[in-house]
Amino acid sequence: MLRLTIATALVSCVIGACSKSAVEATVDTTNKVGTKLMSGVVQKDASIQVEGLIRNLEDRPECDVYRTRLREIERSSPYEGATQSVIVRTYGAAGKADCVKP
């Protein structure tokens, strides 16, 4: 698979060189290949992280408020500081309220 990707990138560079400078063609192709390879690795939202934390919460009614707060933030970008801050503060508050499973 990796060889095919590299071969495709090289062929694209050669074809692209006809219409662009070699540097522009190489940069464009490298960006496209890198984006395609990393698309499966990069998380689109914080749902995976939040789901794991929600599973650690107790199933008592008084813990529902923390579950709801975490669900509200799960569609946000996991790479933003504001998202992580809300997740950490909410889970910390759940721990203080004895809503986290041991």
3-50 pLDDT tens trace = 666 666 666 656 655 556 777 777 677 666 665 655 556 677 888 899
Q: Give the rounded percent of residues in the chain with a pLDDT score beyond 90.
A: 41
CB atoms within 10 A of CB 57: 19
pLDDT at 102 exceeding the cut of 80? yes
Structure confidence at residue 97 (pLDDT): 95
Domain ranges of the chain: 2-38, 47-96
Bigger pLDDT: 100 vs 80: 100
